[in-house]
Structure 1
């Protein structure tokens, strides 16, 4: 097989002419399409970087908000616990005061009842003494004078 240099030269010239024709008629369109594609890729990369930065900022904001919410929740729990402890102490103190008041009223009532019983007992002793004296003497004596004597005696004895 023999190499035909003329044919090679003609092919090279045809190729160069084809490239010049393509460059003249289509190069600008191809260049614009390539540039548009490159610009779209650059915009997509830039948007992805912006979105990544925005996501990072949002994540940091969310972490800060979450931390703040946890701190606020902790403070709120502490305040609620303090309030509950205060209310508990107040209820217990009120219950103690009320119990003391009930005990004091009961003691006063007991003292009143004791005084009442002593008074009634004293009256019964006086009545029985007057009755016994009348029976023993067989006559009636001045009841008011007799009651006075018996009351003086009871006072001295301590009933």
Structure 2
């Protein structure tokens, strides 16, 4: 048993020495590598979370900006519609005023032409009356002849 005990003690001592050597040489390196890897994973996760939050913020800002742009576009379109409607009404008013002015001028022109025609007609009537009177004075006319001359005069004048 003494050989056996010696082997057990020797194995235990060898195991302890091996443990110390492994601890000094490998465990620190492995622990450091594991800690480094854990830190890298944590940093990656934190970065991913930060990126996700930033993406959410950017998405919200983009949606708000899009809504603002739509509202602004709608406002611009409404403004242009109002301006176009006002311009259309102004053009219609101007055209109506111009048409009224043209109509008024035309009425005045027609009135002048009518007066001119009436004046010419009066002159012709007077001329005819003078001609008729001179014919009547040249002849000695009786009532029958006088009536005929008046009827001729009325026929020529168009009354």
- Calculate the TM-score normalised by the size of structure 2: 0.75
Q: Structure 1's 33 and 127: CA in aligned 2 closer, same or farther, altered over 3 A?
A: same
Q: Which runs of 5+ in 2 are unaligned?
A: 140-158
Give the aligned partner of residue 72 of structure 1: 72
Give the aligned partner of residue 130 of structure 2: 130
Distance 2:8 2:120 in 1: 153
The aligned length equals 137
Q: Which segment is superposed worse, 82-91 or 23-32?
A: 23-32
Give the aligned partner of residue 119 of structure 1: 119
Q: Which runs of 4+ in 1 moved over 4 A?
A: 4-16
Measured against aligned partners, the alpha-carbon deviations of 1:64-114 in whole angstroms (never above 9, x if no partner) come to 111111111121121111111111111111121111111111111111111
Q: Which runs of 5+ in 1 are unaligned?
A: 140-158
Give the aligned partner of residue 110 of structure 2: 110
Q: Which segment is superposed worse, 88-97 or 45-54?
A: 88-97
Map residues 1-159 of structure 1 onto 2, 5 A cutoff: 14-138=14-138
Deviation at 1:9, TM superposition (A): 7.3
Give the aligned partner of residue 142 of structure 2: none
Distance 1:5 1:103 in 2: 139
Distance 1:5 1:97 in 2: 131
Deviation at 1:16, TM superposition (A): 4.2
Q: Structure 1's 127 and 52: CA in aligned 2 closer, same or farther, altered over 3 A?
A: same
- Calculate the TM-score normalised by the size of structure 1: 0.75
